[in-house]
Amino acid sequence: MKEVTTYDRVLKARDKKRPQVTDYIKELFEDFIELKGDRLSKDDESILGGIAMFHGTPVTIIGQRKGKTIEENIRFNFGMVSPEGYRKGMRLMKQAEKFNRPVITFIDTPGAYPGKEAEEHGQANAIAESMAMMSSLKVPIIVIVTGEGNSGGALALGVGDKIWMLENSIYAVLSPEGFASILWKDSSLASKASEVMKITAQELYEFGLIDDVIAEDKNMYKVIDKKLQKELKRLEKLSPAVLVENRYQKFRNIDEKKKPIKEHPSTRAIS
């Protein structure tokens, strides 16, 4: 059996054949209605957001999308979100709070778009505002990292009551290539960088930064479905004040939640 390296998981996280937010919506939800625009400037299609039904309960879904073809990659900017996309997400979050709908976010991005126009339009501010809004949102929030979760582009959708990762997804301060370029001035050392960075689902679970690792097998959608049902049922019993306080304490006390080093049940070799 092939030993799984961290960079193996990086490559799996980037695999073009991995399910994307549209696949999760199709498999897990019903009657999805897409909502577009940030009501300030334009619609950024790299963020897909809207309302859907989940076992009879209305929920708000927000996720990054890369596209499955070259044409879609270009159209969705390879999942690199501009400020307008994050502001669209915030608009949908506030709407969810107004109508008491849980929020479910799907993270899969190489990072927020770093272009000149994005910076001129307030990229850093949009990311910070999104994180601040999620920290105080008075409805349940569940975050699922499905592929790449790099930099502030991922954190902007990453503040939740529960954070889950697929076993071959990654969650990092930046890409391994970017890390290697900064630390060693050589992006070709990305494989070495990925080992140093501690970015796999298993490692982040051990550090207490995420709440669970989901195995990528034929039962994946069923597992996510059951976990969502169970967690939403639990979270919806809590008052808004308790939700917000628990979320605050979750991120303030991460060090205390560090788990003993052990293999998570879902961790296995890549076939």
Ordered structural domains, the chain, with CATH: 6-254 (3.90.226.10)
Give residue-wise pLDDT tens across range 88-136: 999 999 999 999 999 999 999 999 999 999 999 999 999 999 999 999 9
Give the strand order in the sheet containing 47-54: 30-34, 47-54, 57-64, 103-109, 141-149, 162-166, 212-214
Share above pLDDT 70 across residues of the chain, in percent, rounded to a whole number: 93
The pTM (predicted TM-score) of the whole model is 0.92
Give residue-wise pLDDT tens across range 186-211: 999 999 999 999 999 999 999 999 99
For residue 259, pLDDT over 90 is answered with: no
Please enumerate in sequence order all residues whose Cβ is within 8 A of that of 198, keeping only pairs 6 or more positions apart, or say none.
204, 207
For residue 269, pLDDT over 90 is answered with: no
